[in-house]
């Protein structure tokens, strides 16, 4: 049955469709016989194909990253493992290509079109929740480009016709047509046809509502059933970077954490771009959806009008922010009934609202150079000014809904000074720093490595102390985030804040740490004695390991320390 008839259902039925337990597999599947590979500059993919019998399906030429087709009958995992164990010259990495999709398509939910939707688009509660009227007195998104990676955008819609840039791209069909069009096919075999047609137009309409003077760059990475894959997502992010985007909206995700997408996002953040992702609509903590749950991305959870977690929304300690995602009105391509506006719900709309707010803050910090400092300043303004909502939700969701619900007006004035900080290694016992470690600690921009040398085996530790400063007169709380790893399989990380009244360190978190880079958040800490009269905050990151008998040292890698002070 064509989805046009499904859309004209009551809102209650829509809610039921979203909240219902999904019948699909929990994790996104690999795409048969497809792998992605990145080669060092100057190395030829043609030579690689000749050696391994592969074929190039698509390429991101500027990054020497390629999507390859394996020979028929090849086991993808075995092939990839063998390549990793015996890599050819110029090989950087390879991985299997996995499916991904928008959250609403994943659960088979549809928007509700109707005659009243147009009026509600301009009067919906989310405008008041974000305090847009007040925020627009300071910024409207002027001079900001928001890339919308989605199903395309209806360029003829009256709300969008003057806001779309002409230089978008369609990576699904590999052409310049970025219109949000149905294809009349059930591409994913779920018996639903074009269930995500209109998704990109809906998200673009929300960005336009929050940031009315921002320009929207449409980048099509999902088909009309809402499916894409890791390669398309990475290609879309790189294209947004190259076209000068300031904000990248990714109301989509995959349960597979693709290396290709990770590298693209790291480059975006290093160039001052904010990336916003949807947490997902499966009502669970695990499996996580990426890129939203990556530490470099603002991962968004959906809440209702009362700041209560939406029943369908995923949740996780890795989430960054919450935003309205229930009863949201926005734009759709003109349907058979002549409707151009509709109601939908999901973490995708929540994500678009946050992207719009990021565009407002981007205008506010337009004077900053396009470096990581700019993207971090925007993120700090959004997270640090957010409204705490843990007390409004069930105890099991504590610290699972981000640091708070976005408040666009508050983000306009939030202090962003002293957030990305200078650190210095101090000696402890026999610890020896591997150099004069002092400087900006950045994601993807100069990872700090410290080698701790021990006279023998046994327990050993490394301490990193970071000083921050804030100008907020009456701070209400502190949020802390640290991203680090070890060179050994297992160890412990402990996070401390300095109590300036007792002059003692107070442990605020402890967790297992190994060779995988891990981002750890501690939100909602009381300001209290942790900020001195001059506004100083002191953080200590301690890594503790048992050095194996075969070695007398371990390395600590730290590439992010963030302190956010709440007003």
As annotated, the active-site residues are 150, 199, 348
Quick one: DSSP state of residue 402? -
Long-range CB contacts for residues 501-505, cutoff 8 Å, separation at least 24:
501/529, 502/529, 505/540
Retrieve residue 161's tokens: 């016709």
Asked if residues 210 and 183 have their Cβ atoms less than 8 Å apart, the reply is: no
Alpha helix (H) residue ranges in 191-254: 199-210, 230-242
CA–CA distance, 54 with 49 (Å, rounded to integer):
5
Strand 55-60: give its sheet, edge to edge.
Answer: 55-60, 65-69, 30-39, 91-101, 227-229
Could you tell me which residues are beta bridge partners of residue 322?
Answer: 301, 405
Handedness of CA 352, 358, 360, 366 (dihedral sign): negative
Strand 169-170: give its sheet, edge to edge.
Answer: 169-170, 215-220, 145-150, 247-250, 274-278, 298-303, 321-324
How do the residues of the chain divide into helix, strand and coil, expressed in percent and rounded to 5?
Answer: 25, 30, 45
Q: Which residues, including other chains, have CB under 8 Å from residue 44's CB and lie 6 or more apart?
A: none
Asked if residues 536 and 472 have their Cβ atoms less than 8 Å apart, the reply is: no
Cα 115 off chain centre by? 34
Cα 87 off chain centre by? 31
Per the omega criterion (within 30 degrees of 0), is the bond before 554 cis?
A: no
Radius of gyration of the chain (CA): 24
Type and span of the H or E element at 352: helix 347-364
Strand 112-113: give its sheet, edge to edge.
Answer: 112-113, 341-344, 328-331
If DSSP codes are grouped into helix, strand and coil, which group holds residue 382? Answer: helix
> End-to-end CA distance of the chain, in Å?
52
Retrieve residue 151's tokens: 């199903």
If DSSP codes are grouped into helix, strand and coil, which group holds residue 238? Answer: helix
Asked if residues 208 and 159 have their Cβ atoms less than 8 Å apart, the reply is: yes
Per the omega criterion (within 30 degrees of 0), is the bond before 331 cis?
A: no
Cα 251 off chain centre by? 9
Q: Which residues, including other chains, have CB under 8 Å from residue 443's CB and lie 6 or more apart?
A: 266, 269, 270, 295, 296, 372, 483, 559, 560
Asked if residues 527 and 470 have their Cβ atoms less than 8 Å apart, the reply is: no
Residue of 481, 317, 320 whose CA lies nearest to 386: 320
């Amino acid at each position: 049955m064509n989805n046009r008839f499904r859309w004209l259902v009551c809102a209650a039925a829509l809610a039921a469709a979203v909240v219902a337990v999904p019948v699909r597999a929990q994790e996104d599947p690999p795409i048969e016989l497809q792998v992605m590979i990145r080669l060092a500059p100057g190395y030829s993919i043609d030579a690689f194909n000749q050696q391994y019998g592969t074929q190039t399906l698509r390429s991101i030429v500027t990054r020497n990253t390629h999507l390859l087709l394996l020979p028929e009958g090849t086991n993808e995992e075995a092939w990839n493992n063998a390549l990793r164990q015996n890599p050819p010259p110029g090989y950087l990495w390879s991985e299997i290509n996995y499916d991904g999709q928008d959250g609403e398509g994943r659960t088979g939910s549809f928007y509700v079109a109707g005659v009243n939707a147009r009026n509600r688009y301009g009067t919906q509660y989310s405008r008041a929740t974000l305090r847009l009227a007040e925020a627009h007195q300071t910024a409207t998104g002027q001079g900001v480009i928001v890339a919308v990676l989605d199903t395309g955008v209806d360029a003829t819609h009256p709300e969008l016709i003057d806001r779309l840039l002409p230089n978008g791209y369609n990576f699904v069909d590999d052409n310049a047509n970025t219109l949000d069009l149905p294809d009349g096919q059930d591409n994913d075999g779920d018996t639903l046809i074009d269930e995500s047609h209109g998704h990109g137009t809906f998200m673009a309409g929300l960005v336009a509502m929050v940031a009315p003077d921002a320009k929207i760059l449409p980048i099509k990475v999902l088909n009309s059933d809402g499916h894409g894959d890791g390669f398309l997502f990475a290609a879309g992010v790189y294209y947004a970077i190259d076209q000068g985007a300031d904000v990248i909206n990714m109301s989509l995700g995959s349960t597979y954490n693709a290396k290709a997408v990770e590298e693209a996002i790291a480059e975006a953040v290093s160039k001052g771009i904010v990336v916003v992702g949807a947490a997902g609509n499966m009502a669970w903590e695990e499996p996580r959806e990426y890129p939203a749950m990556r530490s470099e991305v603002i991962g968004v959870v959906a809440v209702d009008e009362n700041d209560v977690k939406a029943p369908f929304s995923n949740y996780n300690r890795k989430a960054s922010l919450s935003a309205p995602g229930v009863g949201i009105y926005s734009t759709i391509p003109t349907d058979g009934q002549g409707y151009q506006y509709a109601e939908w719900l999901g973490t995708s709309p929540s994500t678009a609202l946050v992207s719009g707010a990021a565009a407002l803050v981007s205008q506010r910090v337009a004077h900053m150079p396009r470096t990581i400092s700019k993207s971090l300043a925007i993120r700090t303004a959004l997270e640090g000014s957010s409204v705490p909502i843990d007390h409004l939700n069930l105890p099991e969701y504590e610290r699972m809904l981000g640091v708070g619900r976005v408040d666009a007006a508050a983000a306009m004035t939030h202090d962003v000074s002293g957030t990305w900080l200078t650190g210095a290694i101090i000696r402890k016992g026999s610890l020896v720093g591997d150099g004069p470690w002092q400087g900006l600690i950045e994601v993807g921009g100069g990872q700090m490595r410290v080698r701790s040398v021990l006279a023998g085996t046994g327990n050993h530790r490394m301490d990193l102390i970071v000083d921050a400063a804030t100008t907020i007169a009456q701070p209400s709380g502190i949020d802390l985030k640290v991203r680090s790893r070890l060179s050994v399989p297992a160890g412990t990380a402990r996070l401390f804040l300095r109590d300036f009244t007792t002059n003692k360190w107070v442990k605020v978190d402890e967790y297992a740490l190994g060779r995988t880079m891990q981002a750890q958040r501690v939100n909602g800490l009381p300001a209290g004695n942790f900020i001195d009269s001059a506004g100083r905050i002191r953080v200590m990151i301690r890594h503790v390991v048992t050095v194996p008998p075969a070695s007398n040292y371990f390395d600590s890698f730290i590439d992010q320390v963030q302190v956010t002070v709440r007003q």
